[in-house]
Amino acid sequence: MKGVPVADFEGKVMDEGEMKDAKARLICAEREMAYIHRHCKGDASETGLVQFGQAVMDLDETRAKYPTYMYDKDGKDIECLIPFSSDIKFNLFIRNMNPSESNPSDIEDNLCVYMKGAPERILNRCSKILIQGEEVEFTKELREEVNEANSSFGKLGERVLAFARYRLPADKYKKGNYNFDVSTWKNWGLKATSTSDYENSAGSFPMHDLCLVGVCSLNDPPRPMVDLSVNKCRAAGIKVIMVTGDQPPTAAAIAEKVNIIKEPKKTYNYLYEEAGLSKQAAWEQSTGVVVHGDLLAEKHLNEENLDDIDPEKGRYLLDWISKKEVVFARTTPS
């Protein structure tokens, strides 16, 4: 902390200059370490991606070469990014692909939108897909292939992220002349379905009709002893309900690993979606259920105007939690 004396390993109190020198030496020493052992700030997904990406390219060099685009507005620098939140489940950066301005008219060397997040939040914003370096139409067949990969990874209990981009045409999005709206973007870009819905809005930029670059899965195993803790709770008569932001296949796989779901083939989702039973038969025969957060939000909204003493209000929730094994997936804090 500032103003607090700091001692070195020999007990000698260091002044501010010595502290800066020591910090610089520590940073240099860390850079000499294998990248997998270097300190990395962020949550498990972000640090996993950083360690994966560092093996392919030097991230410090890449970030320096293609910095986040910034522009001046009323004397204040605006950084063109939308941070991740559990509400929107994605983040976005606009990168300057040619800081030297050697060829600003070339679309390859202008600005590029990069988006990363939950597959269901990214895939429906894509109309193209990158295959062997070429952007081609994201056809129904290709969507099914990507969705199958996403589902397969999820069933292994892995967290899946999707990545997309949009190369901005230099004639419209001119560096220094266009003010990207990254503060009130939800007003035009959140519920739209196509770029044409908001292309004339001031400060807007493409958040649809993107090109899917690919998907990546990360293994985020449960903490040790969680499965034993769940068993102890069960033995004590405590019902454990799982609430997570992961997608349903991932949530179900992890719930099985930690003994929250003991009979995965008796969940409503499996009986209806894979065993082919009708909704009613699947519900009657199921012992567990995995509920998508979007369905929970929809049900809650539909009953918002019901009186609190109405016996039908919240019945859907009581039906769900009446099951022996319950998981809520893709939930938001709200």
Show me where the domains of the chain are located: 43-219, 226-329
pLDDT value at residue 35: 66
Q: What is the Cα Rg of the chain in Å? A: 25
Which tokens go with 328?
A: 């809520």
**Over its length of 334 residues, how does the chain's per-residue pLDDT go in tens digits?**
455 555 555 556 667 777 777 777 877 776 777 766 777 777 778 888 888 888 888 888 999 999 999 999 888 999 999 999 888 999 999 999 886 555 545 545 689 999 999 999 999 999 999 999 999 999 999 999 999 999 999 999 999 999 999 999 988 998 888 999 999 999 999 999 999 999 999 999 999 999 999 999 998 888 899 999 999 999 999 999 999 989 999 999 999 999 999 999 999 999 999 999 999 999 999 999 999 999 998 998 888 888 888 888 889 999 999 999 999 999 988 7
pLDDT value at residue 183: 95
Greatest alpha-carbon pair distance for the chain in Å reads 75
pLDDT value at residue 156: 92
Instruction: Round to whole Å and give the CA distance between 174 and 96.
Output: 11
pLDDT digits (tens, 9 = 90+) for 276-307: 999 999 999 999 999 999 999 899 888 888 88
Helices (H), the chain: 16-31, 44-54, 59-65, 119-122, 140-155, 186-189, 226-235, 248-257, 268-273, 279-285, 293-302, 315-321
Instruction: Round to whole Å and give the CA distance between 73 and 123.
Output: 33
pTM of the full structure? 0.80
Backbone torsions φ then ψ of 215, nearest 5 degrees: -125, 155
Which tokens go with 73?
A: 């507005």
pLDDT value at residue 262: 94
Which tokens go with 112?
A: 């590029």
Q: Which CATH number fits domain 43-219: 3.40.1110.10, 3.40.1000.10, 1.10.260.40, 3.40.50.620?
A: 3.40.1110.10
